[in-house]
Amino acid sequence: MNRKKISLVLTLMLLISCTFAACGNAQQEESSQEAGTEITVLAAASLTDALDEIIKEYGKDCSDKITTSYAGSGDLVQQIKGGAPCDLFISASKSNMDDLETEGLIDKETRKDLLTNTLTLIAAAETAGKVSMDSLTTDDVGQIAIGEPETVPAGKYASQAFDSLKITDKIQDKIVKAKDVRAVLSYVESGDAECGFVYRTDALMLKEDKGKIIEDVDSRLHDPIVYPAAILSDAPQKEAAAAFYEYLETDYAKGVFEKYGFTVK
C-alpha cells in the first residue's frame, strides 16, 4: 500500500472515530438533560401535604427532581447554618427568614411572602366537649401540646397567645412540647395530650374519630402567621430552583394551597 492510500485510510479512521465520539457526547448530554437536576427544598412541616401534591404535578412536565425536607422552621434554619444543601427555603415564620437574611444566607431579592395561616385549638375526641380557650386553666384540661417554641413557629405563636391572655404561669405544668406541628397533631389524636395548638391547615387533617377542631385563636393574640420563601445565596441549582419557585405562584399551586387551608398572599 503506497503512502497516499495509507494517508487516506488513516484520515477515514480519524473521521469515523470523531463521529463516534461526537455521537457519544451528544447521547451523554441528552441523557443528562433527560435526568434533569436535583433541587433541594427545605420547608415548614405544615406545608408537607400541599407541597408534596404540587411537586407531584410539577414533575409531570419537568424532569427536575425535587428533594424535600420538612421540619420546624427553626430546626431548618440551624441545618442551613450548618451547611446543609438547600436551594429553596420556605419558613412558617418571618423571624426565621430574617435570621438567614441577616447572615447573608438567602438572596434577599428573591424573598417574598407566599402564604398565611391560622392558629387553631384542637382536642382529642373524648375530651373535646370540655376544651375551649377559656377552660385551659381549669381542671377540665390536662396536657396541652404545642410545638417547641424555640424551633417551631406554631409553638411560638401559641406561647404568645398564652402571654397575651396572661395564663402562661397557670398552664405551664400542663404544656407538652413537640418537635413540630405534625407531632402535636399525633399527640392529640393518640390521646397523649387532651388538646393542642396547630395551624388550621394541620387541624383539617384530623381524623374525625380521633380529634375535633375547637376554635381558631384570635389573631390579635400573636404575631402574624406568614410563610416567607427565598432562594439561598449559595444554592447549588439556582436556575432550576427559580423555575420551581415561580411555579408555586401559578393558579394551580395557589389552588392547592387554598385547598389545604392556606390563604395565598
**Residue 51, pLDDT above cutoff 50:** yes
Indicate if 124 and 179 belong to the same structural domain.
Answer: yes
Indicate if 127 and 107 belong to the same structural domain.
Answer: no
Task: Give dist(CA 209, CA 156) in Å, integer.
Answer: 28
Boundaries of domain holding 231? 36-116+226-264
Residues 6+ apart with CB under 8 A from 224: 94, 116
- φ/ψ of 197, rounded to 5, equals -120, 120
Indicate if 69 and 88 belong to the same structural domain.
Answer: yes
**Residue 22, pLDDT above cutoff 50:** no
- φ/ψ of 66, rounded to 5, equals -105, 115
> What's 89-114 look like in SS3?
EECCCHHHHHHHHHCCCECHHHCEEE
Q: What is the mean pLDDT of residues 10-19?
A: 46
Indicate if 123 and 205 belong to the same structural domain.
Answer: yes
Indicate if 212 and 149 belong to the same structural domain.
Answer: yes
Q: What is the pLDDT of residue 243?
A: 97
Indicate if 54 and 126 belong to the same structural domain.
Answer: no
Whether 112 is in a domain gets the answer yes
Q: What is the pLDDT of residues 65-94, one digit of tens each?
A: 999 999 999 999 999 999 999 999 999 999
Q: Residue 80: in which H helix or E strand, if any?
A: helix 73-81
Residues 6+ apart with CB under 8 A from 222: 119, 156, 157, 158, 160, 161, 164
> What are residue 147's DSSP bridge partners?
178
Estimate the share of the chain in helix, then strand, then coil, as percent rounded to the nearest 5. Answer: 50, 20, 30
Indicate if 231 and 196 belong to the same structural domain.
Answer: no
pLDDT level of residue 10 (50, 70, 90 thresholds)? very low
Query: 83's torsion region: left (phi>0), alpha (psi -120 to 50) or beta?
Result: left
CATH number for the domain including 170? 3.40.190.10
Q: Are 92 and 225 in contact (CB under 8 A)?
A: yes
pLDDT level of residue 170 (50, 70, 90 thresholds)? very high
Q: What is the mean pLDDT of residues 185-190?
A: 96
Indicate if 216 and 130 belong to the same structural domain.
Answer: yes
Lowest average pLDDT, out of 36-40, 111-115, 252-256, goes to: 36-40
Indicate if 97 and 171 belong to the same structural domain.
Answer: no
Confidence (pTM)? 0.81
Q: What is the pLDDT of residue 265?
A: 87
**Residue 143, pLDDT above cutoff 90:** yes
Q: Are 80 and 40 in contact (CB under 8 A)?
A: no
Number of domains in the chain: 2
**Residue 33, pLDDT above cutoff 60:** no
Whether 52 is in a domain gets the answer yes
Indicate if 83 and 153 belong to the same structural domain.
Answer: no
